[in-house]
Amino acid sequence: MLEHGGRLRQASHDYGIPLESWVDLSTGINPDAYPVPPIDPVAWLRLPEDNDGLEAAAAAYYGNPRLLALSGSQAAIQSLPKLFKPMVLACVSPLYEEHPHAWETAGHRLRRLPSLARAVSVVTPAVLLCNPNNPTADCQPKEVILDAAAQLRRRGGWLIVDEAFADAEPENTVAALAGSEEAPNMIVLRSLGKFFGLAGARVGFVFGAAEKLDPLREMLGPWAIAHPARVVARAALADTAWQAAARMRLISASQRLADLLAPLGTVRRTALFCTVGGSDSPLAASALAGHFARRGILVRRFDAHGLVRFGLPGRDEEWQRLTAAVAEWSSS
């Protein structure tokens, strides 16, 4: 099983710092999460039902009724490869490693390529990318993604796009077009875990043509999302005022974070995290991550690519501790 951010207990053990003393910047989750409303106790007593309004709220929010709700986009990541016969898949790398892991586990072969243009040019039956990309923070314009889908369509191929970090800056999202006449060969994954800060609810969506969604629905079976999680997700997706305010806060905070991290090296940002480095030096990434860990600040390092990812601090005290740690690195 792959490692992910948020392993605070392990960090606490490794560095001898009490759990409550850590600042966790390792996950890229909105620290100012959607305020969960009171949940009717009935939600704990009854099985969830598909006509409770969640799918309608999601269709309105994402602009696409061609969707399947599931227990986080991770469920789609693990299940989608099983819908395709063994093939060679091109992916824009580096990327969220659960994707390659799932495809290889299902018997597919991967070609890791540095750009979407290269991935499309190698004439594989499918191409996979994350947009914005995790961990590099690179973002492809909407027009480029749709052109890639069109090129793949002409040769009977598929384009799979993970938009887990896209909600705060939606101008380049393509979820609304997945499975449409314009892009029938495009499959898009979305999640409530990052922008809404509801990672623990385990709610996500996959968008695309019925050709793929119908067998995926059968594969996952009934009651893919717990009833209380459906209640919370429905409220979050319908709360346009909270969404607008959250976008403004996140964009401002991520720019503040990028400015703060500038002394550490090259910084690339999304609205939910900033990534430092790119030297392909494992030692550089390890040293930087270790510096912050010894000060009780957990970040996410990607040694193979020389990258360190920083999520957004929440409270003022967390910003202050991060500022002090950056200053200490710069003066060392």
Which pLDDT tens digit goes with each residue over 168-210?
A: 999 999 999 999 999 999 999 999 999 999 999 999 999 999 9
Return the SS3 of 211. Answer: helix
Which pLDDT tens digit goes with each residue over 43-93?
A: 999 999 989 999 999 999 999 999 999 999 999 999 999 999 999 999 999
What are the DSSP E strand ranges found in the chain?
23-24, 67-70, 88-92, 109-113, 126-130, 158-162, 186-191, 204-207, 267-269, 273-277, 297-298, 300-302, 307-311
Co-location of 197 and 284 in the same domain: no
Looking at the chain, the whole-number percentage of residues with pLDDT higher than 90 is 90
Q: What is the mean pLDDT of residues 109-129?
A: 96
Co-location of 189 and 96 in the same domain: yes
Domain membership of residue 120 (yes or no) is: yes
Give the pLDDT confidence score for residue 321 in this predicted structure.
98
Q: What is the mean pLDDT of residues 253-274?
A: 96
Domain membership of residue 2 (yes or no) is: no
Which pLDDT tens digit goes with each residue over 138-163?
A: 999 999 999 999 999 999 999 999 99
Total Cβ atoms within 10 A of residue 24: 21
Domain membership of residue 3 (yes or no) is: no
* Angle (nearest 5°) at CA 40 between 35 and 45: 125
Question: What gap in Å lies between CA 299 and CA 313, rounded to an integer?
Answer: 11
Among 238, 267, 286, the domain boundary falls at: 238
Among 184, 214, 238, the domain boundary falls at: 238
Co-location of 209 and 318 in the same domain: no
Co-location of 229 and 276 in the same domain: no
- Hey, what are 316's tokens? 């003022």
Pairing of strands 204-207, 267-269: unpaired
Which pLDDT tens digit goes with each residue over 286-300?
A: 999 999 999 999 999
For the chain, what is the mean pLDDT? Answer: 95
- Please give the single-letter amino acid code of residue 311: G
Q: What is the CATH number of the domain that holds 111?
A: 3.40.640.10
Q: Which domain holds residue 287?
A: 8-33+241-331
Q: Flag whether pLDDT at 2 surpasses 60.
A: no
Co-location of 50 and 183 in the same domain: yes
- Please give the single-letter amino acid code of residue 15: Y
Give the pLDDT confidence score for residue 1 in this predicted structure.
57
Co-location of 251 and 229 in the same domain: no
Question: What gap in Å lies between CA 165 and CA 306, rounded to an integer?
Answer: 21
Region label for 24, one of left (φ > 0), alpha (ψ between -120 and 50) or beta (otherwise): beta
Co-location of 71 and 126 in the same domain: yes
pLDDT tier for residue 8 given thresholds of 50, 70 and 90: confident
User: pTM of whole model > 0.75?
Assistant: yes
Give the pLDDT confidence score for residue 7 in this predicted structure.
81
Co-location of 246 and 234 in the same domain: no
Total of domains in the chain: 2
Among 193, 208, 238, the domain boundary falls at: 238
Q: Flag whether pLDDT at 282 surpasses 70.
A: no
Domain membership of residue 93 (yes or no) is: yes
Q: Quick one: angle between helices 282-293 and 316-331, nearest 10?
A: 130
